[in-house]
Amino acid sequence: MKRKTLRLTPIVGVFLILFPLCAGILGGVEPQEEDAKTYQQAYNLVLGEKWDAAKKALEEFASRYPKSGWVDDARYWQCFAKEKLQQSMEDVFRCYQDFIKAFPQSQWVNDARGNIVRIGHQLAKGGKPEYETIIKSMEETSDDDVKLAALYALQSMGDEGGLKILIDLYDRTPSPKLRGRIVYILGDFDAPEALVKLKEIVFKETDPDMRRSALMAIGEKGGAEATEILKEVIKSSANEESRKSALMALGNIESPDVAGFLMDIALTETNSEVARTAVYALEETDRKEASEALFRILKEAKDLEIRKAALYLIGDKDKTSALPVLREIVLKEPDRELARAALYVMGDIEGKESLDALEEVLASSRELELQMAALYAIGDHGGEGVKEALLDVALNNPNEKLAEASVYALQDVLEGKGTEVLLDLLHKAKSSAVKKAVMNSLMDEEGQAGVQVFSQIMRDEKDPELRKEAVLGLGRTKSDDAVPILLAIAKNEKDVKLASAAVMALGEIGTPKAKAALLEILEKKDIKEDKEK
């Protein structure tokens, strides 16, 4: 199998350097074969845009190696070089036609067809209408690939003649692939007729994918006319999906009146899905009007889901202005679900002001559920002062549920790097719930570091439950360093529960050293039983 020639790209210089190295790797032709080397030299002239020399070299190659696997590449680039030399366009047209007839399976056939359409269109405009007939015959073929090649050529023309052909082809072809591509291309035309056709597709097309594509193309065109078309669709009795697509397309248009229109839809639309989509469409614009619209929706919308959608977008779009509004919602909003949502949005806003507001809610609210939400929002805040705020709750808040929850929030803030902080909290805490939460947080400690942590707890703590948790923690370290400590506890500890926990911990470690310790414990037990007998 031969290696296929790459198309011209902007990185010609790099390709020229790499081409000799890649020639043998990319296919079955060895770089030392004479035809491959000769073609490579000719093709380098194409890459260097030395059209006259390239044309001569390619003609010589095709004549010298008529059966080479590279001859179709050479013949295509020969036509291309003729075009670049601005030779007779009719000759170039025939050159591409002859190429397609001679090499119908070549990778360059679609490129040649596209060039034929483009050149034929130019010739027809120049007073040679017979070429338009040839183009028509290509458009009427049943081969979608041929038609796509023609479409690409028409797109590059961008004139009224090409537009008319595109519109006619859309109306005549049943192929969804081609129709979808035509809709996309219509968006690139500045002519009013293109917008008229897109509007017709939106209102009359039965295929929902085509309607959606047309709406997106209208939105990308932008401008006053496109804006009015999209508003007309949104306010019409069109199906829900078309109205939603039109809303999202409208959000992409940078116009000062778009935000107000979307806000009115969000506040007055009876279809909740359409109303919610209007809110989401406001996310697409960075204009000041969008933020103002979201604030009004948050305050005035009757539907809770619409207000929540606006709430989350406000937190993303205008964090500075959002904080006072969010604080008011948390403290005064009768719907507590919305109040909790506002708390979580506050937690995503960086800075001391937002942290102060969260702490205020935590201290002033009498609703445990709201306080818990504020506490977790503080943990999510993650800024300066969060650690101190959570420690204060853990040590001083009279509500044990809040104090316990603050430990887990603190664990997320510390991200596994706060062992000393947790040990200090364990030492200072008076609440048994807090101490247990600290122990649970420390259970992830492994290896020698874990052994040091749990050994320290064994030395400092008097509470038998905490000491038992520390013994089990030693087992979870999976470290041989914990074996002598656990062996001593199992052999000498008078508290049976603690001694049993040490045996279980040795079993969890499971290393040869731990197994030897278990055997030693069994031997001691046997000797003791023999003495008692």
What pLDDT digit, counting tens, does each position of 95-137 carry?
Answer: 988 898 899 888 888 788 878 877 877 787 777 766 666 666 6
Residue 166 burial by CB count (10 A; 0-12/13-18/19+): exposed, middle or buried?
Answer: buried
Q: How far apart are the C-alpha atoms of 157 and 281, rounded to whole Å? A: 34
pLDDT number for residue 275: 93
pTM of the model: 0.56
What CA–CA distance (Å, rounded) separates 207 from 230? 18
Whether the pLDDT of residue 75 is over 80: the answer is yes
Q: Quick one: pLDDT at residue 420? A: 87
Phi, psi (deg, nearest 5) at residue 303: -85, 125
Mean pLDDT (the chain, rounded)? 81
d(CA 26, CA 385): 60
pLDDT band at 526 (very low <50, low <70, confident <90, very high): very low
- The answer to whether the beta carbons of residues 120 and 132 sit under 8 Å apart is yes
Highest mean predicted confidence (pLDDT) among 12-16, 199-203, 337-341, 464-468: 199-203
Residue 185 has a pLDDT of 81
Position 512 scores a pLDDT of 92
> Band of the pLDDT at 157, cuts 50, 70, 90?
low
Task: Output the DSSP codes for 379-415.
Answer: HHH-STTHHHHHHHHHHH-S-HHHHHHHHHHHHHHHT
How big is the CA angle at 161 (ends 157 and 166), to the nearest 5 degrees?
Answer: 80
The SS3 of residue 232 is helix
Residue 223 backbone class (left: φ over 0; alpha: ψ -120 to 50; beta: rest): left
Q: For the residues of 241-292, what is the DSSP string, one character each?
A: HHHHHHHHHHHTS--TTHHHHHHHHHHH-S-HHHHHHHHHHGGG---HHHHH
Q: For residue range 29-49, what is the model confidence (pLDDT) as tens digits?
A: 444 488 888 999 999 999 999
pLDDT digits 0-9 by tens, 207-265: 999 999 999 999 888 889 999 999 999 998 778 999 999 999 998 888 878 999 999 99
Q: Is the pLDDT of residue 1 over 80?
A: no
Spatial neighbors of 73 by CB under 8 A, at least 6 apart, are 4, 5, 39, 43, 106, 108
The pLDDT tens digits of the residues spanning 508-524 come to 888 999 899 888 888 76
Task: Kindly state the average pLDDT of the residues 350-373.
Answer: 85
Confidence of residue 145 (pLDDT cuts 50, 70, 90): low
